[in-house]
Amino acid sequence: MLLGSALCLPGCSLLPFGADKDPALEGAAAPPAFSVQVQAPDDVRETLERHLELQRFRNLPDLQASELQRLLGAADANARELLGTMGYFAPTITIELIETPDDQTAPRSVRIGVQPGPQTRIVNANIAFADGKPEGGGKADKKEDEESQASARQQQLVRSDWSLPPGEPFTQSAWDTAKTGGLRQLQAHRHPAARIADSRAEIDADKHEARLDVTYDPGPAYRFGPLRVVGGQRYDPDGARRLAHLPTGAVYDEAQMLDAQLRLAGSGYYDAVFLTLDTEGSDPQAAPVVAQVQEASLQKLVFGPGFSTDGGARLSLEHIHNRMPGLGWRAVTKLALERESQLASTEWTDLPDENGWRWFAGGQALREARDGYRVNSGRLRSGSSKNTRNIDRNYFLQYDYANSQGTDAPPPRSALSLNYGWTGRYFDNPTAPTRGHGVALELGLGSTLQPPHDPFVRTLLRWQSLIPAGRVQDSAGRGRDARLALRTEAGAMLARESAQIPAPQLFLTGGDTSVRGYGYHSIGARSGNGQLYGGRYMAVGSVEWQRPIVYGGTMTDWESALFIDAGAVADRAGDLRPRVGLGAGLRWRSPVGPLQVDLAYGAKTRKLRLHLRLGYNF
């Protein structure tokens, strides 16, 4: 009881009857003691109105005239200090106190007139670097000479990218940004321990000139050493090293370390990963990289409902085993139920070897509705893959089987093929890109398994490019690029006309990610009675204009889009007849990736269709 009473006593002072009234809070409800009016050009008025210290005292109760006079005396110096941060060092400032007894909003008014004068501009910017070479010593060897030349090129790049060259107006924020930008360039590559050794801005208020001097101390050049895993117990640290695929011995590069961090985080073995370079060691040429990890559970069961405009409502159940008994591979087994399709699949992957290649095996069984019939298909594949920063490669052996049910359904078919895939992604952001391009190629050589065992060649080419198309700015000067999104896809199945190709190897298109305005896989070849089936040739193209939305003078996370899509599928290249869809949409830059909402009109069907999509992949 005594302990409980002691713990409760401090809380009593928070009760209304146990606290003294705060005069400042009382004054907040009372009329202002005075009002403040700033008469100045628009480019400085908003800053003064927002940051003048005088504004803080407007609501003080019973403010005496003598105290207000003291505040007015300090307001001049405060205004000059604020103007100095914007590059105005010789302003003319007048401050008047006017009694306004008839004004119901405030009994007094403080009027501040500002003529900022000419803005100070940069006349010289000197960017220097401290000499990081040790004193004395003999003649540098070839490796040291190459390091010195590489550092000199990097330093020259910092100078050429300097954001406050002569002629630019001087502001404190721009000066801070320029210094920090140069430092980040050094720290991001080769010199993670770089610092600002000295900086000075000399202002000549009479001539309205600024001379800038900054000296960077790059520190030693660093190279990646071995990866050290901290916090791992369940999974082999050597496996983490191979998953990260960090280039030991290479020059330190922040982007490469972040890529390694993403590979570890996306592997499924870890719930959280954070990589840092140990710069406290004695040898910068082999600095250890510390991976602090939080391991994922050995097994995980994930249940999820969902919805898509392509497949409607969806239920999925996924089981993950990060270390299969006996084999030691990672297995992901999934069951997905949608309105028009049901899927059961499993995929097994090994840890990568020293060169980054990893074995995989998988299979799936799919049942999906087509136009008047159902296709029951199965697929088995096994091969090897390698994923790097920009390029994914894989080769595998694949078996396909399809058995259709319904009126005029094709007979059972199967095929065996050897396949190779190559994908290059060169976007500025892997999850929400705004510029860059990607290209992917799939090539398969195979044979049908029904007599007479017809050979075939299957190829698919995809390409996408995001091109900046002007900049959109808000009233505060913040801006983002508008862009053109260009996309094309072409596929061909080369075989004898009589070859019995399984349905999964043929082409269909239409839906959220291909031709909007049409249903999922609703564009294909047609039989004599109008029945839809997969075709041997496919061509898809899209042009989309995306523009950031400014609302109320402020840049938002939303974008508008106008687009036109076209796609065609046929059994002969000469029979390709495009289906066109056009429309408009919205994009939201959500924390988990872009949310895409589109309303499209299918010119062939003459119907409007809503398309929803979350996330980005190529």
Residues contacting residue 365 through CB under 8 Å, at least 6 positions apart: 343, 344, 345, 376, 377, 378
Indicate if 301 and 289 belong to the same structural domain: no
Identify whether residues 85 and 181 lie together within a single domain: no
d(CA 123, CA 167): 6
> Is 10 contained in some domain?
no
Query: Which one of 267, 295, 323 terminates a domain?
Result: 295
Same-domain pairing of 291 and 440: no
* Dihedral, CA of residue 507, residue 510, residue 514 and residue 517, to nearest 10: 160
Residues 6 or more apart whose Cβ sits within 8 Å of residue 259: 389
- Secondary structure E strands in 16-144: 35-39, 92-99, 108-115, 121-129
**Per-residue pLDDT tens over the stretch 509-548:** 999 999 999 998 999 998 777 788 899 999 999 999 999 9
Which of 217, 251, 267 is where one domain is finished? 217
180 and 40 co-located in one domain: no
Question: Could you tell me if 359 and 409 lie in one domain?
Answer: yes
The domain of 247 spans: 224-295
Asked if residue 9 is part of any domain, the answer here is no
Is the predicted pLDDT of residue 608 greater than 80, yes or no? yes
Which of 94-98, 111-115, 343-347, 552-556 has the highest mean predicted lDDT (pLDDT)?
343-347
In a domain, 37, yes or no: yes
Q: Count how many domains the chain has.
A: 5
Residues 412, 531, single domain; the answer is yes
Residue 327 has pLDDT above 80, yes or no: yes
Dihedrals φ, ψ of 575, to 5°?
A: -95, 5
Question: Is residue 19 scored above 70 in pLDDT?
Answer: no
Q: What pLDDT does 132 receive?
A: 52
CATH number for the domain that contains residue 529: 2.40.160.50
521 and 459 both lie in a single domain:
yes
Strands (E), 130-259: 195-204, 209-217, 224-230
Q: Which of 164-168, 440-444, 540-544 has the lowest mean pLDDT?
A: 164-168
The closest of 116, 122, 118 to 169, measured between CA atoms, is: 122
Among the listed ranges 139-143, 215-219, 405-409, 541-545, which one has the minimum average pLDDT value? Answer: 139-143
Residue 482 counted as domain residue: yes
Confidence of residue 63 (pLDDT cuts 50, 70, 90): confident
Q: Average pLDDT, stretch 420-449?
A: 94
| 249 and 381, same domain (yes or no) | no
pLDDT of residue 144: 74
pLDDT-based confidence at residue 140 (cuts at 50, 70, 90): low
Tokens in use for 250? 């290479």
Please give the average per-residue pLDDT across 199-206, as a whole number. Answer: 92
Domain annotation covers residue 51: yes
pLDDT-derived band at 30 (thresholds 50, 70, 90) equals low
Which residues have CB under 8 Å from 449's CB, separation 6+? 414, 415, 416
Whether 309 is in a domain gets the answer yes
Q: Are 390 and 422 in contact (CB under 8 A)?
A: no
* Averaged pLDDT of the chain: 88
Q: Is the pLDDT of residue 123 over 90?
A: yes
Residue 400 lies in a domain: yes
In a domain, 576, yes or no: yes
Same domain, 246 and 366: no
| CATH number, domain containing residue 234 | 3.10.20.310
Residues 165 and 229 in one domain: no
| Per-residue pLDDT tens digits for 346-367 | 999 999 998 999 999 999 999 9
Least confident range from 307-311, 424-428, 436-440, 503-507: namely: 307-311
pLDDT band of residue 179 (cuts 50, 70, 90) is: very high
Asked if 515 and 523 count as a contact pair (C-beta separation under 8 A), the reply is yes
Q: Within this chain, do residues 396 and 518 fall inside the same structural domain, yes or no?
A: yes
Mean pLDDT over residues 316-344, rounded?
93
Residues 448, 519, single domain; the answer is: yes
